[in-house]
Amino acid sequence: MVTVKSLDELKPKQKGIIVKIKGSGATHRRLLDMGLVKGSSIDVERVAPLGDPIDVRIKGYHLSLRKEEASNILVEV
Amino acid sequence: MAEKTTIALIGNPNSGKTTIFNALTGSRQHVGNWPGKTVEKKEGKSTHKGYELEVVDLPGTYSLTAYSIEELISRNYVVNEKPDVVVDILDSTNLERNLYLAIQLIEMGANMVLAFNMSDLADSEGLEINTDLISRYLNVPIIKTSARDGSGLDELKDAVIDVLESGNGYERDEGRSGRPTINYGKEVEEHLEEFTEYITGNIEIPEKYNPRWVAIKLLEGDEEIIKLVKELDNSRIVLKESRRLQNHLKAIFGEDVETIVADARYGFIHGIVMESVERKRREKSFSDHVRKAVSKPFWGISLAVGSILGLAFLFAGGLIMESAYGFLESVNSPEWLTLILADTILAGLGAITVYLPFMVLFFIIYAALEGGGVIGGADSLSDHIDRVAMNRVIGIPLFLLLMLIAFNLTFEVAAPLSDVVDWFISDVVGGFVEGLLFSVNAPGWLLSLALDGAVAGVGSVLVFVPFIFMMFLVIAILEDSGYMARAAFVMDRFMHKIGLHGKSFIPLILGFGCNVPAIMATRVLESRKDRILTILINPFMSCGARLPVYLLFAAAFFTGSISVFGFTVSTETAVIYSLYLLGMGVAIVIGFIFKNTLFKGLSSPFVMELPPYRMPTLRGVLTHTWERGWLFIRKAGTLIFAVVIFIWFLAALPPGVEYGSEGSYIGDVGKFISPVFAPLGFGDWRSSVSLFFGFVAKEVVVGSMGVLYGSGDVETPSGEATLVGALQGTFTPLSAYAFLVFVLLYVPCMVVVATIKREIGWRWALFTVVYTTVVAWVAAFIVYQGGLLLGFS
Ligand SMILES: Nc1nc2c(ncn2[C@@H]2O[C@H](COP(=O)(O)OP(=O)(O)OP(=O)(O)O)[C@@H](O)[C@H]2O)c(=O)[nH]1
Ligand SMILES: [Mg+2]
């Protein structure tokens, strides 16, 4: 079954397909530029020892972002 | 005929631009395995086929719409300066994201070549990239390179010359080049075409810009392009039309234009990559990786020999050293040779190799866990390492342990080397100079100038150069391995809590080497507030130049050992650690205070690439260390020499006064400032003078003490021992510690102040001078008076 969640709700080792990046402005654009576009698959690799940020794999590389930013990323699980 | 042409190297952060730049131009710019190493534009020269090429290395950027100032430098350079050829350097192991910038350069219409760098890594990952196919799709030459071993660079230069001669970008009079344009879909394309015509019909955009590109950029809302257009006549109606279109497209697609554009670009790239890159997926176990690594003779043998040595030192370190001393004594080796062979080389090897058996044990446990299926396989060695390095439980303890080991090694290896230098300067150089001057019957004042001034002053600084080298070595390894970005990742939460940013962590660590490059490194921070804050607290990170002061005082006052959590550590080490920790603590507290007063407001987001780990190259690490370290030596021979001689003259004048007495000029200066320091426990006029001149460079504190305290007895060689004796007569352990706290915290050296001025303006520079000194005074006051109250002395 397909459900839409925000990226910060995913647990390590879960993966999803990006459906939308919410928001606007510089950070929004940065996420797009880094390859977080609709249809890309994204894996949550791990959470930092202190619980934030998270390390995700997108387009074959590792990207780290805070849960706050991740909450703007909607994925299909 | 030689023609002068500019070649710009652009590309995503960490794709190898600087490595290629160095290979092309023979420069030695620093490379590091973390995104954002280069923050300035650098130029160099190269010649090929009769052309004189002016090569420009740029900071990395992910997109032509810049996000932070160092990215803006790159963006503005390729957009506005229009270099003759743009070489986009891509990381072949990460093509999709790297092609995003390439596509934008193509849209812009640059004359360009693509270098698919790191092809060695792509090969070993099992990636098969059909560059011919991609090159045909994009109509741009593509060269595979591997900057580390230099392969492909000649072909790259050939391709650059080809493009230079024929051109492959956009020229207005020739119309479109044969480049593909990304199709943004029928609806968008129609509007784009109309809008492009609208633009060319209404405003005069400069020749060098491709109108379609300007149209896209305006619709994307690129601020730099909006700024550019604003300066033209008639801009208002064009900007208005652009806003209208943005809203119109948004209404149709339910998405803003930047999203539509980014989706289309990545879609286009995805299509290309799907067709031309094949991945032979090979999941490798950790033991496979290790087996492969140790099957290379160099690594295999080093590891085996190292581990055996390490085991030997672990269990019989004392015995080994004793027998070495015994042997050297039996062959009547002179003291200096023993110092070099036994204390430096043998003990140094021991200090390093004792960690190897633990490492091997760790490997075995990990491999066993993996073999037993407790932990699954991973793609790359990097993933294996990250499992441990960023593990929820052991990530942070491991980080702290690594730091501790790094510092420990620095001291253990450097201490005997420093003794060697001390011996060399005081016995060999000092003895030689003294002998020479005596033999020519030089007057007493000249003797004093040479020995009290030059040798004692400069020598007392040079003695500590080995420590500074080791410090830089450790930092270079950290930078080159890829661990820095991990440290930023692991620490972000904590840094965020105290109002800073995970990325602030990298400049703070670099500060342990030297605050100047550290302050430059803050350019990776996107928000100006974060940047200023990180710069303001950076001077509290104790730089290499302050280390000599600590070492000198520790040797004089804090010998012996104490017990911490059941471990016995030398008091000397404990005191030095405590200062480093104090600096970090003060930085945290001050950062927290500033964040809640001067820089209220939200902190900026954290979005950072984590590069794969790489084995640091010996050459890279050594050049890095050597260059930074050499600066210190050169500084000792120039600036510090000059200051020290200046102080000697002030101490010897007016004529007839006893050298270095209170009646000399320097005595006057000292007595004038010393009351300020009296409440801190070091009201002695000579230490006041040294602090005063310490503004020039912090090593001067030691240098000028060498000049001032070593006075009177020209006969004895002016080694560290004399200085230590003199200090013991002036300071108590408590006042010595208060003094060190002051040296740690007070005004950074003038080069740092100048750097702060250049980066964020003279107001902040002035502010730093004042506030750090106030903080230092208060902290030293608390230490001294508090210590007195508690009954220390
Ligand atoms: N294996 C391999 N490593 C490379 C190659 N080119 C560069 N590196 C390594 O990649 C890392 C980054 O290299 P840099 O030259 O500093 O990269 P940069 O593009 O200048 O990075 P920024 O200045 O941060 O934008 C360093 O550790 C280099 O040693 C290559 O072709 N093969
Ligand atoms: Mg670089």
Could you tell me the CATH number of the domain that includes residue A46?
A: 2.30.30.90
Dist CA B684 CA B755 (whole Å):
32
Dist CA B492 CA B485 (whole Å):
10
Of the candidates A55, A18, A53, the residue with the CA atom closest to the CA atom of residue B259: A18
Dist CA B438 CA B461 (whole Å):
25
Mean pLDDT (whole number) for B490-510:
87
Dist CA B439 CA B334 (whole Å):
26
Q: Inform me whether the pLDDT recorded for B118 exceeds 90.
A: yes
Q: Inform me whether the pLDDT recorded for B111 exceeds 60.
A: yes
Contact, B493 vs A53, CB < 8 A?
Answer: yes
**Cβ neighbours of B74 in A, within 8 Å:** none
* B149-160 per-residue burial string, b: 16 or more CB within 10 A, e: under 16: eeebbeebbebb
Dist CA B290 CA B385 (whole Å):
12
CB of B107 within 8 Å of a chain A CB? The answer is: no
Contact, B102 vs B26, CB < 8 A?
Answer: no
How many Å lie between the centroid of ligand 1 and the Cα of residue B18? Answer: 7
Q: What is the pLDDT of residues B573-583, one digit of tens each?
A: 888 889 999 99
Q: How many domains does chain A have?
A: 1
Contact, B232 vs B205, CB < 8 A?
Answer: yes
- Cross-chain CB nearest to A35 (options B258, B266, B492): B266
How many Å lie between the centroid of ligand 2 and the Cα of residue B22? Answer: 10
Contact, B218 vs B245, CB < 8 A?
Answer: no
How big is the CA angle at B58 (ends B57 and B63), to the nearest 5 degrees? 145
User: pLDDT grade, residue B286 (50/70/90)?
Assistant: confident
Contact, B99 vs B273, CB < 8 A?
Answer: yes
Half-sphere exposure of B333 (CA within 13 A, CB side): 15
What mean pLDDT, rounded, does chain B reach?
Answer: 85
Polymer length of chain B:
793
Q: Which residue has the tokens 């190297």?
A: B9
Tell me if ipTM is over 0.90: yes
Q: Inform me whether the pLDDT recorded for B172 exceeds 60.
A: no
Of the candidates B47, B45, B70, B50, the residue with the CA atom closest to the CA atom of residue B60: B70
Q: What is the pLDDT of residues A2-29, one digit of tens each?
A: 788 889 899 888 889 999 888 888 888 8
Enumerate the domain spans of chain B.
3-166, 186-279, 420-793
- Cross-chain CB nearest to A68 (options B259, B262, B605): B605
Q: Inform me whether the pLDDT recorded for B567 exceeds 60.
A: yes
CATH of domain B3-166: 3.40.50.300
Between the CA of residue B323 and those of B306, B316, B328, B340, B419, what are the distances in Å? 20, 11, 8, 16, 21
* B731-762 per-residue burial string, b: 16 or more CB within 10 A, e: under 16: bbbbbbbbbbbbbbbbbbbebbbebbeebbee
Indicate the burial class of B617 (C-beta count within 10 angstroms; 0-12, 13-18, 19 or more). middle
- Take residue B719 and report the two structure tokens written for it: 């080694």
Contact check, Cβ <8 Å, A48/B526: no
Q: Kindly list the strands in the beta sheet with A41-47, ordered across the sheet, starting from the edge strand earlier in the chain.
A: A4-6, A73-76, A15-21, A41-47, A54-58, A61-65, B607-610
First CA to last CA distance, chain B: 77
CA-nearest residue, atom 6 of ligand 1: B16
Mean pLDDT (whole number) for B626-652:
82
**Cβ neighbours of A63 in B, within 8 Å:** 607-610
CATH class of B186-279: mainly alpha
Q: Inform me whether the pLDDT recorded for B176 exceeds 60.
A: no
- B654 cis-preceded (ω within 30 degrees of 0): yes
Three-state secondary structure of B45-97: EEEECCEEEEEEECCCCCCCCCCCHHHHHHHHHHHHHCCCEEEEEEEHHHHHH
Q: Inform me whether the pLDDT recorded for A62 exceeds 70.
A: yes
Which domain does A61 fall in, by range?
A: 4-76
Q: Inform me whether the pLDDT recorded for B623 exceeds 50.
A: yes
Rg of chain B (C-alpha set): 30
Ligand index nearest the alpha carbon of residue B42:
2
Residue A3: CB atoms within 10 Å: 9
Beta-sheet strands, E only, within B587-733: 607-610
**Cβ neighbours of A66 in B, within 8 Å:** 492, 496, 605-606
Q: What is the pLDDT of residues B745-766, one digit of tens each?
A: 998 988 889 889 988 989 999 9
Q: What is the pLDDT of residues B433-455, one digit of tens each?
A: 888 888 888 777 787 787 777 77
Dist CA B93 CA B104 (whole Å):
20
